[in-house]
């Protein structure tokens, strides 16, 4: 028994301790209030009874909230339900518009399953899931003071729109097992419920906001969850408004006759995935290079050309 116990202790100690307690606190500038929003408009929809969750009650409540329909530039829509405790439609509208705009800073991938937003007073945790985002405005004030309101929404929206699609996927589970550690104590304590949401924000930071975080923070993230990062990279997330769907501008094109090598440089968006294609007639295009993830604002790639091909070739760079 003593030998068995010793072996178990040695095995358990092999897993490294998480670098963070919770990931919404790692950097307040991953998303800034000045970042673009997909928010388009808010229209009043009167009042009607809805079933909402209220953490002050730790239960579902039946209320007659003020209703507003928020629309976004990518075509998504959300019904915002504001607790009648706010007193009147004008006050409720201000709350609805405030959060509808901030939620618009989330990518299409994170908003795609958000059908409703519940807004209550109180200093209580936010929530995600149930095709919903739950807001308690007293807690929102705390998040604003700490500069992490937007980061908190990323975490909760991951629960809403990504958990059901990925948390139980064999490849995600394999990535969890392959990494030496969890990204946070919160993820470690609740691996089935919180690991995806805790991991996605750091991934977003190193892939799409690497110019805003320190090298030491980026290093900690990459060291802790390399296989989870690869998993996220393999997915075709719709990243608007973080990634704009616009054609890249080619800054330089160089061809070496001796080496049969073509070099292309273009202005890129951090984290965007690019593809290079070629054609001899502008009709049929074949992929030369794919899944190029930009890690700087200028991306350069060299392509070896087939010396046996004598036809004239045209090349283009686009978002994947």
Domain ranges of the chain: 1-245, 250-319
pLDDT band at residue 53 using 50, 70 and 90 as cut-offs: very high
Burial letters for 221-257: b for 16+ Cβ neighbours within 10 Å, e otherwise?
A: beebbeebbebbeeeebebbbbbeeeebeeeeeeeee
Q: Over the stretch 109-120, which tens digit does the pLDDT of each residue have?
A: 999 999 999 999
pLDDT band at residue 308 using 50, 70 and 90 as cut-offs: low
HEC per residue, 69-111 = EEEECCCCEEEEEECHHHCCHHHHHHHHHHHHHHHCCCCHHHH
pLDDT at site 260:
77
The backbone torsions φ and ψ at residue 267, rounded to the nearest 5 degrees and listed phi first, read: -70, 125
Say if residue 35's pLDDT is above 70.
yes
Start-to-end C-alpha separation, the chain: 57
Q: Over the stretch 160-179, which tens digit does the pLDDT of each residue have?
A: 999 999 999 999 999 999 99
The residues, any chain, with a CB within 8 Å of residue 172's CB and separated by 6 or more, are 166, 196, 228, 231
pLDDT at site 247:
86
Task: Give the chain's mean pLDDT.
Answer: 92
State what percent of residues in the chain have pLDDT above 90: 80
pLDDT band at residue 6 using 50, 70 and 90 as cut-offs: very low
Say if residue 13's pLDDT is above 60.
no
What kind of fold does domain 250-319 have according to CATH? Immunoglobulin-like (2.60.40)
74 vs 310, more confident: 74
Say if residue 159's pLDDT is above 50.
yes
pLDDT at site 14:
55
71-80, 179-188, 308-317: which range is least confident on average? 308-317
State what percent of residues in the chain have pLDDT above 70: 93
CA-derived radius of gyration, the chain: 23
Q: Over the stretch 81-111, which tens digit does the pLDDT of each residue have?
A: 999 999 999 999 999 999 999 999 999 999 9
């Amino acid at each position: 028994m003593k030998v068995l116990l010793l072996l178990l202790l040695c095995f358990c100690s092999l897993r490294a301790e998480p670098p963070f307690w919770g990931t919404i606190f790692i950097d307040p500038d991953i998303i800034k209030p000045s970042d673009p929003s997909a928010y388009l408009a808010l229209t009043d929809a009167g009042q009607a009874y809805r079933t909402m969750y209220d953490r002050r009650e730790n239960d579902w409540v039946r209320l007659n909230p003020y209703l507003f329909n928020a629309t976004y530039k990518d075509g998504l829509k959300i019904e915002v339900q504001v607790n009648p405790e706010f007193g009147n439609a004008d006050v409720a509208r201000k709350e609805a518009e405030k959060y509808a705009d901030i939620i618009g800073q989330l990518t299409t991938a994170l908003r795609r399953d958000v059908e409703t937003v519940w807004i209550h007073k109180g200093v209580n945790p936010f929530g995600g899931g149930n095709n919903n985002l739950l807001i308690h405005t007293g807690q929102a004030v705390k998040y604003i003071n700490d500069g992490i309101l937007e980061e908190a929404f990323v975490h909760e929206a991951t629960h809403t729109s990504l958990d059901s699609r990925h948390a139980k996927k064999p490849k995600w589970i394999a990535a969890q097992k392959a990494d030496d550690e969890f990204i946070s104590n919160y993820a470690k304590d609740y691996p089935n419920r919180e690991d995806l949401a805790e991991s996605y924000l750091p991934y977003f930071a190193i892939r799409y906001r690497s110019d805003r975080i320190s090298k030491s923070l980026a290093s900690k993230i990459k060291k802790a969850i390399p296989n989870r990062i690869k998993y996220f990279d393999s997915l075709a997330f719709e990243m608007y408004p973080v990634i704009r769907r616009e054609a890249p501008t080619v800054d330089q094109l160089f061809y070496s006759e001796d080496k049969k090598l073509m070099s292309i440089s273009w202005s890129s968006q951090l984290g965007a995935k690019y593809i290079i294609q070629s054609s001899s007639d502008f009709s049929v295009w074949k992929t030369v290079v794919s899944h190029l993830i930009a890690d700087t604002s200028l991306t350069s790639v060299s392509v070896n050309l087939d010396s046996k091909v004598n036809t004239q070739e045209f090349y283009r760079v686009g978002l994947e």
